[in-house]
Amino acid sequence: MKNLIVIQVVAPDYREKFFGHLQKTLGNNFRLYSGDVDFQKSIKSENKILQTKIINKFLFRRNLLFQFGSHWRELFKKNIIVIGLNPRIISNWTFLILRSPLGLKTYVWGHAWPRKGPNSKTAILRHFMQRLASGTITYSKAHKKELRIKHPKLCVLNAPNALYSQQQIGELELPKDQVKNIIYVGRLVVNKKPLFLIKAFHKLIDLDANLIIVGDGPERKKIDKYVETHKLESRVQLMGHINNFNKLKELYATSLVSVSPGYVGLSITQSFAFGVPMLISRNESHSPEIEAAKESSNAIFFQTDNQNDFCLKLKEIFKSKKVFLEKRKLIADQCKKHYTIEQMAGSFFKILRDN
């Protein structure tokens, strides 16, 4: 049996359960190589993940990356290699260009398109990587479908971004009067718009709800200052970064709704895994996970950057509290059908099995 080799920029904590599942299932037939810090400095590797560390050398103000380390020993081996679908990683181009003519299997894994979409100027670079690769593993079924339509000759699989196992997914029931918070989970960076969230929540001071913020990042100082200036300490809980499953489940259990004031990321499937619907900014360059959102079912949308509409939608959600509490099991069950680490790992097992 060949080995599955995964080479990543970083192995962050939200990938811990996924890589752990691959390790547990494949044993010595799986190896993970990763650096310490991503292009975005706020994303770092989790030391609990079993990985071989390699060196990330960023160039041109962190716009390009070359990776040094022991993963180069894999270059000409007949193993199955999975690398990031990111044209900015120069070393990944080297793997593709040298392995492709030799018939060695190399797959690219990541966003099918740049953030600006399939018609952006840099999309052609991703497509060139896909043509050199043995196949593409996308983050969503929607991107898999779109990619097959646009480039029917490509081999395309998908690994829906997931955080938890099938066994872990499900809501934690609490008495109705204890479910009254609003929760945000994610990095505190500008394009996630956490400061917008704080300012909009300030307008809802009469609402019987607290705001829970889980995450850290460069916007934290501005948020701290705003909370202190406006004396919101009793209403806003800044929890910092949390990766503990049980603690997160407890926080979501007390929350009627989660919020995404900026673009949607992985936290949407996390929220749904616990049965909590999400209030989402409508017009953003969302990550592929947005496909999980079904309006009026597990998601509500507000007009982007409009505090008044954000507040209006939140008030409506709290007025319909009974309805949303009754939906929690259905939301979690739907997530369990489509977004588990077992399903995510399926395409990785398939390429190993088929080659």
Q: Where in the chain are the domains?
A: 4-162+340-354, 176-338
CB 257 within 8 A of CB 182: yes
pLDDT bin (cut points 50, 70, 90) of residue 172 is: confident
Confidence (pLDDT) at 114: 86
CATH architecture entry for 4-162+340-354:
3-Layer(aba) Sandwich (3.40)
pLDDT bin (cut points 50, 70, 90) of residue 242 is: very high
Q: Give the mean model confidence (pLDDT) for residues 116-130.
A: 90
pTM for this predicted structure = 0.93
Q: DSSP per residue over 148-165, as a string?
A: HHH-TTS-EEE-----S-
CB 9 within 8 A of CB 89: yes
Q: Give the mean model confidence (pLDDT) for residues 164-170.
A: 96
Q: Give the mean model confidence (pLDDT) for residues 179-185.
A: 98
Whether pLDDT at 98 is above 90 = yes
Confidence (pLDDT) at 115: 79
3-12, 72-81, 117-126, 250-259: the lowest-pLDDT one: 117-126
pLDDT bin (cut points 50, 70, 90) of residue 174 is: very high
What mean pLDDT is reported for the chain?
Answer: 96
CA distance linking residue 198 with residue 96, whole number of Å: 45
Say whether 176-338 and 4-162+340-354 share the same fold: yes
Just give the CATH number of 176-338. 3.40.50.2000
The tens digit of pLDDT for each residue in 50-88 reads 899 999 999 999 999 999 999 999 999 999 999 999 999
Confidence (pLDDT) at 33: 98
CA distance linking residue 300 with residue 268, whole number of Å: 12
Q: DSSP per residue over 58-98, as a string?
A: EETTTTEEEEESGGGGGTTSSSEEEEE--TTBHHHHHHHHH
The tens digit of pLDDT for each residue in 18-36 reads 999 999 999 999 999 999 9
Whether pLDDT at 222 is above 90 = yes
Q: DSSP per residue over 249-296, as a string?
A: HHHHHTEEEEEESS---THHHHHHHTT--EEEESSS---GGGGG--BT
pLDDT bin (cut points 50, 70, 90) of residue 119 is: confident
- Identify residue 30 by its one-letter amino acid code: F
Q: Give the mean model confidence (pLDDT) for residues 166-195.
A: 95
pLDDT bin (cut points 50, 70, 90) of residue 136 is: very high
Whether pLDDT at 201 is above 90 = yes
Confidence (pLDDT) at 121: 84
The tens digit of pLDDT for each residue in 137-149 reads 999 999 999 999 9
Confidence (pLDDT) at 94: 98
